[in-house]
Chains A and B, each alone.
Chain A
Amino acid sequence: MSLGIKRNIPLIDQHDKNFMYGGKFGGNFIPETLKKPIDDLTILFAKLRKEKKFLYQRDHYFKNYIGAPTPFIKLENLTDHLGGAQIYAKVVSEANGGAHKIYNATVHCLIAKKAGKKYIIGDTGAGYAGKMLSMAAKEFGLKCKIFMGAKDIKRQRPNVEAIKKNGAEIVPVTTGSQTLVDAVSECMRYWVSNCDTTHMCVGSTVGPNIFIKICAWSTAQISRELMQQVKEEFGKIPNKLKLINCVGGGSSAAGFWNEFMNTHAEFIGVEAGGPKNSKLHAAPLTNGSKIGILHGAAQYVIQNKEGQIGSTESISAGLDYPGISPLHCFLKDAKRAKYTSASDEDALKAYQLVSKLENISPSLEPSHAFAEAIRIAPKLKSSEVIIVNSCGDSLKDKDIIKQKLGSYIR
Chain B
Amino acid sequence: MKSKIALAFENCKKENRSALITYTVAGDNTKNNSFKILNKISKHADILELGFPHNTPIADGGQIQGSSHRALKNGIKLKDVFQIVKKFKKTNSSKPLILMGYYNLIYQSGENNFIKNCKLSGVDGLIIVDLPYPENKNFANKCKKKGINFVQLLSPTTSRERMKKIIKDSHDMIYYISMLSTTGGKLKVSPKKILENYNKIKRINPKKNLVIGFGITDKTISSLKSANGLVVGSLLCKTITNSLKMRQNPVTKLDKVVYNLKRKIT
List residues of A whose CB falls within 8 A of some B CB.
18, 27-37, 175-176, 181, 185, 188-189, 192-196, 290-296, 298, 303, 305-309
Contact = CB atoms under 8 A, between A and B. Distances in A.
A37 B130 CA distance: 15
Given A32-B154, A32-B158, A36-B157, A306 B77 contact: yes
B180 A309 contact: no
B130 A30 contact: yes
Nearest to B134: A18
A193 B181 contact: yes
B173 interface: no
Contacts of A27: 135
Nearest to B58: A188
Interface string B101-115: 011110111000000
Contact of B104 (A31, A35, A193, A307): A307
A271 to B, nearest CB: 19
Contacts of B56: 176, 181, 185, 294-295, 308-309
Contacts of B104: 292-294, 303, 307, 309
Contacts of B155: 31-33, 35
A295 B199 CA distance: 33
Given A29-B103, A195-B180, A292-B107, 7 more contacts: A32-B158, A185-B58, A192-B181, A194-B180, A307-B105, A307-B109, A308-B54
B182 to A, nearest CB: 5
A4 to B, nearest CB: 24
Contacts of B103: 29, 293
17 contacts: A18-B135, A31-B132, A32-B153, A35-B162, A36-B157, A176-B56, A189-B60, A192-B182, A195-B157, A196-B180, A291-B107, A292-B107, A293-B103, A296-B130, A306-B78, A306-B108, A309-B104
Contact of A37 (B65, B135, B157): B157
A31 B58 contact: yes
Contact size range, B:
35 or more
B180 A33 contact: yes
Contacts of B131: 29
Contact of A185 (B57, B108, B162): B57
A28 B58 contact: no
Nearest to B77: A306
A175 B58 contact: no
Given A31-B58, A293-B102, A303 B181 contact: no
Interface of B: 54-61, 65, 69, 72, 77-78, 102-105, 107-109, 129-133, 135, 153-159, 162, 177, 180-182, 185
Contact of A307 (B58, B107, B130): B107
Contact of B182 (A28, A193, A296): A193
B35 to A, nearest CB: 20
Nearest to B61: A189
A178 to B, nearest CB: 13
Nearest to B129: A31
A295 B105 CA distance: 14
Contact of B132 (A35, A37, A306): A35
- Identify the interface centre among B78, B102, B104, B155: most chain A CB within 10 Å of its CB: B104
Residue of B103, B153, B182 contacting most chain A CB atoms (<10 Å)? B182
B54 A29 contact: no
Contacts of B54: 307-308
A35 B102 CA distance: 16
Contacts of B177: 32-33
A308 B55 contact: yes
Nearest to A323: B56
Contacts of A308: 54-56, 72, 105
Nearest to B79: A306
Given A27-B135, A189-B61, A293-B102, A35 B157 contact: yes
A296 B135 contact: no
Contact of A31 (B55, B130, B156): B130
Nearest to A40: B157
Nearest to B152: A32
Nearest to B176: A32
Contacts of B185: 193
Contacts of A35: 132, 155, 157-158, 162
B58 A33 contact: no
A295 B55 contact: no
A189 B60 CA distance: 7
Contacts of A34: 157
B108 A32 contact: no
Contacts of B107: 291-293, 298, 307
A192 B105 contact: no
A406 B127 CA distance: 53
Contacts of B109: 306-307
A212 to B, nearest CB: 16
B108 A31 contact: no
A305 B110 CA distance: 12
A306 B177 CA distance: 28
Contacts of B132: 28, 30-32, 35
Contacts of A292: 104, 107-108
A305 B158 contact: no
A175 B55 CA distance: 10
A25 to B, nearest CB: 13
Q: Closest 4 CB pairs between A and B?
A: A307-B108, A36-B157, A293-B104, A307-B104
